[in-house]
Amino acid sequence: MDLSGKTALVTGGSKGMGLGIAKRFCEQGANVVICSNDSPSLAAAETEIDSGEQLVSVLADVSRAGDMAQLTETVVSRFGGLDVLVNCAGVQRYGTVVDTPEETWDEVLNINLKGVFLAAKYAIPEIEKRGGGSVINIASVQAYASQSNVAAYTATKGAIVAMTRAMALDHAQAKIRVNAICPAAIDTPMLQKAAELWKGEHTAQATIEAWGQGHPVGRVGTIEEVAAVANFLASDLCPFMTGSDVKVDGGVLSKLGIILPE
């Protein structure tokens, strides 16, 4: 799973799964550029990863074409090229299609879906110049089985899985592999925020533990477990793997959610 000699760009790399992936990539020898639209989290990420010149952080908005074009230029000028793109930037908002405000719908699609499009638009030509590489899109199990009250979020995650297939076909001849990771509940700041919102009379930690019991393995996943899968997909160990969606879900999609009569 060694990534020495590779350069990776991780959008949303200052928090949660993106931060865990960036940290893992640095540990495996890659040069890594992370981006976020939140300056304090970028500074905190640099301190946590502490990889010196191996890590570069850039303030950028994935929903803006100019930012993504400039971000890719920064990667290439700093490290000489680009081998791996991880699209991890994302937000979750709550609501049905009836009560979700239009501006909230646009926000979620612009970050979660348009952000993947724009990052890939500028990164893929640079990956092609290197003779190929890997694009990893972070989707969700909600691409397949939705919770209630998350219409916009679920719509983007389903679209990311479909777009992953399209990208895999379009860029296979350039030796660019495109795969998606579909996590279930992972212990991230996003999950902790959701637990605070929906904890009711319980603590946030108790709420997360209860959500974990909904997975056959009996717990939520860890950032490190997702990062390990991203490491595999970014490495040279899977050259025949493209257009795939890898479920890192503790078995939750294998579980029938209703009780059938005997």
Query: Which positions are catalytic?
Result: 153
Query: Do the Cβ atoms of 220 and 187 come closer than 8 Å?
Result: yes
Task: Report d(CA 70, CA 183) in Å as an integer.
Answer: 30
**Residue 257 DSSP label:** S
- Written in H, E and C, the secondary structure of 54-112 is HEEEEECCCCCHHHHHHHHHHHHHHHCCCCEEEECCCCCCCECCCCCCHHHHHHHHHHH
Query: Do the Cβ atoms of 74 and 33 come closer than 8 Å?
Result: yes
Residues 6 or more apart whose CB falls under 8 angstroms from that of 129 comprise 81
Task: Report d(CA 22, CA 45) in Å as an integer.
Answer: 9
Task: Report d(CA 12, CA 160) in Å as an integer.
Answer: 16
Task: Report d(CA 243, CA 111) in Å as an integer.
Answer: 22
- For residue 138, the cross-strand partners are 181
Q: How many CA atoms lie within 13 A of 36 on its CB side?
A: 22
